[in-house]
Amino acid sequence: MLKEITGKIQPERWMVIFLWIHILVWTLVPYWVRYALPLDAMEGATWGHQLEWGYDKNPFVNGWLTALAVYLDQYQDWAVYLFSQLSVAICFLAVWQLAKKMVPPIYALLAVFLLEGIQYYNVHSIDFNDNTIELSLWALTALWFYNALKSQSVRDWMLVGLLAGLGMMTKYYTIVLLIPMFLFLLVSPTNRQTFIKPAFYLGMAVFVAVVLPHVIWLFSHDFITVNYAFKRVHSRPTWINHLEYSGRFAWQQVEAFLPAVAMALLFFVGDEPRDHSTRIPVNRFDRLFLLFVGVGPFLLTILLSAFTGMKLRAGWGTPLLSLWGILLMVWLHPPVTVKRFYRFIVLFFVLIASIVVGYSAALVRADEPSSANFPGKVIASVLTQEWRNTYHSAVPYIAGSRWVAGNVAYYSADHPPVYIDWNPRISPWIDEAKLQAKGAIFVWDTTEPREIPSAETLARFKKLGDIKIMRFSWLRNKQSTPVEIAVAFLPPM
């Protein structure tokens, strides 16, 4: 019966259609409705202006991939949005391939479709950042870990090492995936045989080779990225934090997954009799794999927070739910019929359309300021032209707050490097002596106290010109209080 249903539905065809729709829609919609890149994507572009083995907040993969996207689209934004959706699509493909090894193709397809209803895979994926990149690397690592355990081939273990290394070099949070993977190797004598296989250690060598340049970089940069990570999770040592942060994070992930559960339950609606022959047979190895690799990172995160009291942020859960669609199929084994499937497809695409329309309307009819409507292009054009008129040369540097200076640098025709917060630890690629000699535009948001340079900072630049306040209207929401920035020119010597 299930084979007949699969033949009529043709899951492979639907998978291709879905991937194309997802990539096109979520690439073109933000490109059309946003006037500026999202916050994290802009930060990645600032980092990627110079290829380093690490940056102040993240290892190198984020900055390098954003640099490639910017190079391809020449600061036109579309490739940055495309790279985000390619990461999501790769995640979908990896989940699809892994699911097909465990369940029939029709259920593998549904395991992927359910993910589209989760915010991490639609609206939140627009911002090309470490969380979005993790989607692809996390799912690929899980897939090839499964393959390597089955084949014990050198190629598969080396791919596991490569993907796990790139995941760590995207975000240290990948460690919560690697620990359950290691524990899974210990659960049975068959898995423990891996430790006597040379292929496993070759994979470990690849992992070390990928992360080693960043480790060396950390030693010469005061472990700035590690310190930032610890600062992000630090909280006041009170007993309530152990319960609050872990409990809140757990609920945030469950809440994010609820739309997927609701979509799966659609198959139980209707008066068609259930065919129990469609129950999904899943062997013990696959069930344990899904438990350790699919649920393990989530549980480990909760336990770490409950034990240490560390602060968690909802977005860190972005890759955690990637295998939960498969888990839901195994647990619910919904009664799939051709009629129910096509009813699901209609509602599925209605849901996608509703999310797209809602997202677009929220930006187009914005009542409050939004990064999507930030006048970065206007500010960059005005300041670049004023510099050129004054000094008859390209803008050599932008110095200032991360968001405003990043926008000016990215959208300026000269695309100068950014001296973030006038801080050599944060921007080690900047030689301050050269900046003093060549000059720079100083810029910051006057309404953000944290972004205003201190008197000590300004004193370092003795030739800095007068500070003037400039105001720019938000795009679309013209009635909002204008963007107010402070600008000063450091003249070239």
**Which pLDDT belongs to residue 271?**
62
Rounded Cα distance, 351 and 356, in Å? 9
Shortest CA distance to 375 belongs to which of 480, 451, 449, 465? 480
Neighbour order of strands in the sheet with 483-490: 418-420, 398-400, 440-445, 483-490, 468-472
Q: What does the pLDDT look like over 279-300, one tens digit per residue?
A: 677 899 999 999 999 999 999 9
pLDDT at 233: 87
**Neighbour tally for 48: CB within 10 Å:** 21
Cα angle 412, 428, 137 (rounded to 5 degrees) comes to 80
The CA distance from 186 to 467, in Å, is: 63
Q: Give the pLDDT confidence score for residue 293 in this predicted structure.
A: 98
The conformation of residue 427, written as its DSSP 8-state character, comes to: -
Q: Which residues contact 236 (CB under 8 A, 6 or more apart)?
A: none
Angle formed at CA 112 by CA 248 and CA 293, multiple of 5 degrees: 55
Alpha helices in 34-153 (DSSP H): 39-48, 61-73, 78-100, 105-115, 130-151
Three-state SS at 81: helix
Give the 3-state secondary structure of residue 445.
strand
Give the helix, strand, coil percentages of the chain, each rounded to 5. 65, 5, 30
| pTM for this entry | 0.95
> Nearest Cα to 348, choosing from 8, 87, 12, 115?
115
Q: Encoding tokens for residue 295?
A: 């649920």
Low-confidence ranges of the chain (pLDDT < 50): 277
pLDDT in tens, 26-69: 999 999 999 999 999 999 999 999 999 999 999 999 999 999 99
pLDDT at 274 (0 to 100): 57
The DSSP H or E segment spanning 466 is: none
Return the closest-CA partner of residue 403 out of 32, 35, 37, 30.
37
List the structure tokens of 169. Answer: 């070099």
Give the domain ranges of the chain. 2-363, 371-490
CA–CA distance, 393 with 375 (Å, rounded to integer): 24
Cα–chain-centroid distance for residue 230? 19
The pLDDT assigned to 369 comes to: 81
pLDDT of residue 275: 54
